Structure 1
Amino acid sequence: MSHYERAATRERSTFFGHPRGLAVLFGTEMWERFSYYGLSGILLLFLQAPAAQNGLGLDATTAVPIASIYSGAVYLTALPGGWLADRVLGPRRGVLVGGIIIMCGHLSMAIPIEGPSTIFLGLFLIIVGSGLLKPNISVMVGRLYDGDTDARRDSGFSVFYMGINIGALLGILVTPYLAGDDRWHLGFGAAAVGMALGLLWYVRGWPRLKGTGVGPGRPLTETEKRKVGRICVWGGLALAAAIAIWAATGTLTFQSVPRVITAVAIVAAVWYFVYIFGQAGDITEAETAGLRAYVGLFIAAVVFWMLYLQMNSVLTEFASSSVDLGAWGFDLPAGEVQNFNSIFILIFAPVFGALWIKLGDGFGATRKFALGLALVGAAYLLLGVLQGRADGGVLIGLTWMALVYLLLTFGELSLSPVGLSVTVKLAPTKLKGQMMGVWFLAPAVGTPLGGQAYAYITPRWGEQAFFYILAALALATAVVLVAMAPRLNRLMTRT
């Protein structure tokens, strides 16, 4: 075979220059994100819509924390989801089971019954299923690049990110349109169809994944299975009793649940880092050094997601109340403003993927994280200025919102795919699935913290103060991260 024939064969056997298995995971994640972002595009509006419009009629300071909790809790459950893959299911089966549960959740929400029962059951199922799918599909992407360079793995995750945002773009276009004129349950049904298509794509593409993600990395022994079974039974009973007591006191409300879940996310993150560092017998000295560096990056990521993921709640509320949605000659639903992010990701993800390869390992994860924080901080500074104009009675143009989302997108591309990649790199060999769950604890902690900040700050000082305070937090964190970069880089190079 000639050189040109071999080159042609390699081209046919790759996906944009990456392993063919990436195409399977790309498509699966695309349809899962279609369902997730489609729901996110209408959830806050549904929660706030009055009963006469088939909504739940909640005020903004209640609806925003609930929407933020949903956005964050789908990441909180990634920790047990990663553990189940590492010890019981394996990543490949974890993604399949998670996708099925997500689809059932969307179907529950699509049932046209008055009242919140099927809605909150559906949200619960989506949260549980996402905990199985999200960390494990990312682990499988990382394992496609075992033995490859950091820069190439970063580039692969950037391509993977394109799939996420194609799904987001389609979901935010289709679902709010179908949900228009108070047809909320039709929009929820569209999300269920999207997840079903993702499952079909995934199952049909299994042969291209070859041995990736098959079986748990560290299966439970028989003794451990019995121990885990007892913990699950007693833990479930204790949880049920605690919820019953909570409800009996009359304090189980729409306002108190987000606060409790936020506290649980923070405690889970702290506890799990303590747990991992306690596994001294199972991880090497070099892996321990990498985990020390990872703590700093994790804290920075919490701050980033605290700002960034408010686009599903606070920024949707801002678009609904303060933006001229007909400025470009057509009436844009408030939930579809988020699509600026999806469009910009599709345009610039290949650019950032190529940029990381060009810069090489010299422009490392710490610098990329600091850049991401600075950009999201700049977006919130701009939002503060725009909120001031809106408070003065000026209707904000869509062009300004496009600029806000451009800054948020550049921040996301600087931090999020790189965070996935560095998690795969620094994770101890026996804890890769669980460490991806730890990465998803960052948005699980940051997103509800942002929602609680909104509920606390805005009634006292207004929306403009909310934007400025969070901008200052992000910029200060970026400065601290730059100052700590030399030490963090030394720890990471030991792995």
Structure 2
Amino acid sequence: MTVAATPAAATADPNAPLPRQIPYIIGNEACERFSFYGMRNILVPFLISSVLLAYLPDQASREGAAKDLFHSFVIGVYFFPLLGGWLSDRYFGKYNTVLWFSLVYCAGHACLAMFESNAAGFYTGLFLIALGSGGIKPLVVTFCGDQFDQSNKHKAKLVFDAFYWIINFGSFFASLLMPLVLRSWGPAWAFGIPGILMFIATVIFWAGRKQYVNVPPSRGTDPDSFLNVVRSALLGNGVGVGTLIAGGSFVLAALMLALWALKFAGVALWPEAWGFVITACLSLGAIIAGVGFGASVQLDRARGRHPDAAIDGVRAVLRILIVFALVTPFWSLFDQKASTWVIQGKAMTIPHELWWWPSWLVKDATQMQALNPLMVMLLIPFNNLVLYPLLTRMGFRVTALRRMGWGIAISAVSWVIAGVLQLWLDDGQQVSLAWQTLPYLLLTFGEVLVSATALEFAYSQAPMAMKGVIMAFWYLTSTFGGLWVLLTNATVRDPGVIAWITTQGWTENAFLMFFFAGFAFVAALAFALYARRYRVMDHYRVA
């Protein structure tokens, strides 16, 4: 069914039932997450040993290239939510956009399964998965939120937690089983099985089509949309300081792209290691920062052209974007569990001699990634039923922003421990893979505090007409998390930097682990300072 965009009065009903269409969305998400994490978590070990990187001279070079390819793929996955959110809000609506991008997603899985030895075919598959997965990312969560109104919104938190729990349910089995499939049956099956699950996910989503609440897209007809208000602020009433800031950001972005392109003409004015992905992300970041800051400087110039509510909504979104920016270092840590931590685990010893180690099941270091979703499924109910009520009784206000800030800091601690493990390996010690359990536990605890919280936070803070776009910006935080990884790796590989690290008695891997830990600690402090000034909003749909 389709609901009208105009609000009506409603009050909370404590006995309101859970919307009956929610199981279709949850079932779709479980299968889709299995498909995504099933291929994502085996991507780095597959690439390191595949013929696709056989042209590289040594293991270290293949590991570095595999990490760069992985994080470039992740950047794409979390960039395309911008496209999906825009198409949904402006033209097609959430249901149609999710369904069509899901079909693209299925085609990408098929390419991976069929072209394991063909670079063009395999990388086309990665692009299609990034496009399909990214295109639906900002929509499934907001589509789930659209099924609630003021009468039953109190049940939304439980569903968002269940939503995040089911994501990890699918991820757990994918992370545990797909490395074994890759090891025993080869890449065609290891990439093919996730493709089958993605097809099932699409069918489940389609099956609930007659029961969904469909909020119609704006189709560009809203004169008071986010972009229209920003345009009025920047371009109305002549040129102002904010206009110059926004215009300068476009000039800066174009200059960076031009300097990168000049290398094809033999002019080396841009760092050689900063390829197109890094340059494009830096350009995008410059535009977002410049336009956002420029609009905030002179947002009041839009008054009179737009109602106060629309202007206040834009101001709220711009404040949310600052919160999002401060979360990006967390993703630079989190996503490396599927690259840097996998490579570290491959250098460790699997402790088959320990009585408690499940040798019958865990045979590959890549499977350690299954600890993350397993712990999420345990920590979410523990936090909601034990930790948060206990902290509340002790007098602590457990707000969303406080949880997110502490999550970033705890994730930094996990990387300190990973760095210590790397120092042991660099000293030539045999290190048990079981030690990785501790950093995985802390990183997962940080993830629950940051990511599970942000799903509800981002939805509740966004005005109704902008929910798809604001969720796209939330997922874009992972793109910039990947950018920090690529930038840092490219900088560290400079011969002069490598020489300096070596003279300090470090290896590249150990240095990077402690660097990212420090990066996250600084981000956590900045997040805490900003969160103290943030005013929380409530933008749930009325009945």
Whether TM exceeds 0.5 here: the answer is yes
In the other structure, the counterpart of 2:374 is: 343
In the other structure, the counterpart of 1:457 is: 492
In the other structure, the counterpart of 2:531 is: 485
- Distance, in Å, in 1 between the alignment partners of 2:26 and 2:262 is 42
Are the aligned partners of 2:273 and 2:490 in contact in 1 as well (CA < 8 Å)?
no
Are the aligned partners of 1:382 and 1:404 in contact in 2 as well (CA < 8 Å)?
yes
Are the aligned partners of 1:29 and 1:164 in contact in 2 as well (CA < 8 Å)?
yes
Are the aligned partners of 1:290 and 1:426 in contact in 2 as well (CA < 8 Å)?
yes
Are the aligned partners of 1:54 and 1:184 in contact in 2 as well (CA < 8 Å)?
no
- More off after superposition, 389-398 vs 365-374: 389-398
Q: State the structure with bigger RCO (CA 8 A, min sep 6), 1 or 2.
A: 1
Counterpart pick for 1:415 among 421, 429, 450: 450
1:80–1:147 Cα change, 3 Å: same
The structure richer in helix per residue is 1
Q: Report how far residue 351 of structure 1 moved.
A: 2.4
- Distance, in Å, in 2 between the alignment partners of 1:373 and 1:413 is 10
* Unmatched segments (≥5 aa) in structure 2: 1-13, 224-253, 502-507
1:99–1:247 Cα change, 3 Å: farther
In the other structure, the counterpart of 1:60 is: 63
Structure 1 residues 154-181: Cα deviation after superposition (integer angstroms, max 9, x where no partner): 4332110111111111222332222215
How many residue pairs get matched?
459
Q: Report how far residue 276 of structure 1 moved.
A: 7.8
In the other structure, the counterpart of 2:326 is: 300
Are the aligned partners of 1:106 and 1:126 in contact in 2 as well (CA < 8 Å)?
yes
In the other structure, the counterpart of 2:236 is: none
Structure 1 residues 34-60: Cα deviation after superposition (integer angstroms, max 9, x where no partner): 111111121111221153x99776622
1:113–1:415 Cα change, 3 Å: closer
Are the aligned partners of 2:168 and 2:376 in contact in 1 as well (CA < 8 Å)?
yes
Are the aligned partners of 2:176 and 2:369 in contact in 1 as well (CA < 8 Å)?
no
* Letter of the 1:299 counterpart: A
- More off after superposition, 93-102 vs 110-119: 110-119
Structure 1 residues 457-482: Cα deviation after superposition (integer angstroms, max 9, x where no partner): 36723111111111112122222222
Are the aligned partners of 1:82 and 1:131 in contact in 2 as well (CA < 8 Å)?
no
SS in 2 for 1:396: coil
- Distance, in Å, in 2 between the alignment partners of 1:108 and 1:115 is 10
Q: Report how far residue 206 of structure 1 moved.
A: 2.7
Are the aligned partners of 1:152 and 1:357 in contact in 2 as well (CA < 8 Å)?
no
- More off after superposition, 143-152 vs 18-27: 143-152
- Distance, in Å, in 1 between the alignment partners of 2:161 and 2:382 is 9
In the other structure, the counterpart of 2:406 is: 371
* Letter of the 1:444 counterpart: T
In the other structure, the counterpart of 1:215 is: 216
Normalised to the residue count of structure 2, the TM-score between the two structures is 0.76
Structure 1 residues 90-120: Cα deviation after superposition (integer angstroms, max 9, x where no partner): 1111111121111100101111463201111
1:180–1:93 Cα change, 3 Å: same
What are the equivalent positions in structure 2 for 1:73-472 lying under 5 Å apart?
73-112=76-115, 114-147=117-150, 152-180=155-183, 183-209=186-212, 211=213, 213-216=214-217, 218-220=218-220, 256-267=275-286, 269-270=288-289, 273=292, 280=302, 281=306, 284-324=310-350, 326=352, 328=357, 329-330=359-360, 332-354=363-385, 358=389, 362-457=397-492, 460=498, 461=501, 462-472=508-518
* Unmatched segments (≥5 aa) in structure 1: 1-9, 224-237
- Distance, in Å, in 2 between the alignment partners of 1:180 and 1:254 is 33
Q: Report how far residue 271 of structure 1 moved.
A: 6.0
1:404–1:272 Cα change, 3 Å: farther
* Letter of the 1:310 counterpart: Q
Identity %: 24
Structure 1 residues 405-462: Cα deviation after superposition (integer angstroms, max 9, x where no partner): 1111111110112212121122122211111111111011112322332343367231
1:487–1:274 Cα change, 3 Å: closer
